[in-house]
Structure 1
Amino acid sequence: MNESNFLKLSQLSAGDYQAFLYDCDGTLTDNMPAHTQSYVEVAREYNVVFDPKIIDELAGWPITNVVEEINLRYQTNMVPEEFRIRKAQVYREQFLEKITPIDYVVDHLKLNAGRVRIGVVSGGDKSGIERTLEILGIRDLVEVLICSGDTERGKPFADPFLRAAELLNVEPSKCLVFEDGLPGIKAAEAANMHWIRVDQLTFG
């Protein structure tokens, strides 16, 4: 474990919070390069080439929304739902079982489970996120799991975090969000929740 990062994360998360809400991809597990490669490979099946930096820019968006944005920027016509299904397949077959934890964040979740309510809020497909949490050994610690399709709007809108808070029966202002992407930070702010950006160890 990166002890200094764990200590910093623990310091930043100290406070009168009743729930911790963690993003998954890029926050609990270091799998964003794998997701980016999945997008690139499926786009290639459509004969579409795009700058992969867009995936980091839109980290946390539902896959269908990312595809819609790529279509908009590149004047392409990939089918969002078809793309989502195929991307999930490529990621599951090539990358999912090889994921590794971001250890100081996973350890932080484990330490705080039972002290505060625990939720995971992701823009990913539920089956893939469920399996990710199982591989990380934390599925049983997660009380509420919100994924793509569970709310009408995904990140950067507040809906997924507000739904998690509702299911946990915790006021939004008493929830602390752990994220690695700007869309997730914007969603947390829209939900009136404080946040920690785990890759930069900043608080807002």
Structure 2
Amino acid sequence: MLSPLAPHDDADGLLFDWDGTLVDSQSANYQAMAAALAPLGVTLEEPWFNTRTGLSSAEMIDLLIDEAGLDLPIPVSEIVARRDEHFLRQAHHIRTHPAVLEIVETYHGRLPMAVASGGSRAVISQTMRHLPYASRFAAVVTREDVERGKPAPDIFLLAAHRLGIAPDRCTVYEDSDEGIAAAQAAGMTVIDVRSHTGR
């Protein structure tokens, strides 16, 4: 039986967001960010975090600083590094989203695939070692590779370029409003996985 997440027949390549799409990392990401901010006297509200998961860690912190009028004593880059350290301590607990894993396994070797994430390359690569994804992707594009993160289309456009596929022949799997907007801005077909991942 064909999965409801199966790409259309005209797809020449598949692009996958990482957090919340390929992996069930929402809670771990929130806990890591909250732990990084707490020593600075900043309380991160989970509902606020959950509505901004398409942003990179740095972009999320910048937005929080702007919205709350914060004056933090250390650079954003240091907060992100602390967040990543907290996350990686629990990376071995991160699990796949089975419905999305099924798509990856079904189309591995049939269509070229890439990870296209606003996350950190180091965090993704280290987490991926614990999961059945390590040999499945021809490219991994992260926020470090582009000037603008989602909802700008840059991450998806670069991933398509690295696969050698025209953007309008790519299908994107996403779980955030920012990611969906980025895929649409790139002229790609996008599949919202949220109804299949429990979000």
Q: Same fold (TM over 0.5)?
A: yes
Correspondence for 2:80 among 84, 87, 91: 84
Structure 1 residue 69 corresponds to structure 2 residue 63: yes
- 1:145-184, aligned counterparts within 5 Å? 145-184=140-179
Could you tell me how far apart the structure 1 residues matched to 2:91 and 2:123 are? 8
Contact 1:65 1:80 in 2 (8 A): no
SS in 2 for 1:136: coil
SS in 2 for 1:176: strand
Tell me the residue number matched to 2:12.
18
Give the percent of matched residue pairs that are identical in Structure 1 and Structure 2. Answer: 27
Correspondence for 1:58 among 49, 52, 60: 52
Q: Which amino acid aligns with 1:38?
A: A
Q: Deviations over 1:86-140 (max 9, x none)?
A: 10001111x2110111111012111101111100011111111112222221111
Could you tell me how far apart the structure 2 residues matched to 1:132 and 1:200 are? 24
Correspondence for 1:134 among 125, 129, 137: 129
Q: Deviations over 1:46-65 (max 9, x none)?
A: 11113222222221211111
Structure 1 residue 190 corresponds to structure 2 residue 190: no
Could you tell me how far apart the structure 1 residues matched to 2:171 and 2:8 are? 10
TM-score of the pair, normalised by structure 1 = 0.91
Contact 2:88 2:127 in 1 (8 A): no
Shift of 1:14: 2.6
Q: Which amino acid aligns with 1:61?
A: L
Q: Which amino acid aligns with 1:116?
A: L
Shift of 1:163: 0.4
Contact 1:50 1:74 in 2 (8 A): no
TM-score of the pair, normalised by structure 2 = 0.93
Shift of 1:200: 2.2
